[in-house]
Amino acid sequence: MAEIDRMLEANVAWAERFPGSKPVRPARAVAVVACMDSRMPLFPLLGLDVGDAHVIRNAGGVITEDTIRSLTISQHLLGTREIVLVHHTQCGLQATDDVAFADLVEEATGRRPPWAARTFTDVDSDVRESMRLLRDSPYLLSHEVRGTVYDVDTGLLREVV
């Protein structure tokens, strides 16, 4: 059985427990920007329920043009006012650099990506840079941003100041 088939079966079971429709505006007026890492179960680790927050995930949880676009929509149209960043230990983006990654993609596909992978070596520094990018964005209504690092070995969050 394909993994997607397993997911579709799981959805049927989940739908039986479905909490019902929620308003489109996040109940807690918060947006989460996090890495896509599969070891981070964001809803339970942040104490969130369905309908509580917008969640934006990408490789590294880095702030890209599309992240800013999504947060701008989240704030202007849907009322969020706080942003929490969730990066993590042992991130795959720490295992390469932008040039080596672009070389790898080009070797495999014959095309070099027009975007940088946004790799980093120090997770705390990357969280600080992400917070700076959000605070400097002219499109956001609120610049209330806090950054954290999730420890994949302990399950604990550590705030970065």
List pLDDT tens digits, range 105-150. Answer: 999 999 999 999 999 999 999 999 999 999 999 999 999 999 999 9
Q: What predicted TM-score, i.e. pTM, was given to this entire model?
A: 0.93
d(CA 44, CA 42): 6
Q: Does domain 22-160 have CATH number 3.40.50.300?
A: no
Is the model's pLDDT at 49 over the cut of 90?
Answer: yes
In the predicted model, what is the mean pLDDT of the chain? 96
Is residue 80 packed enough to be buried (19+ CB in 10 Å), middle (13-18) or exposed (0-12)?
A: buried
The residues, any chain, with a CB within 8 Å of residue 92's CB and separated by 6 or more, are 37, 59
Map out the domains of the chain as residue ranges.
22-160
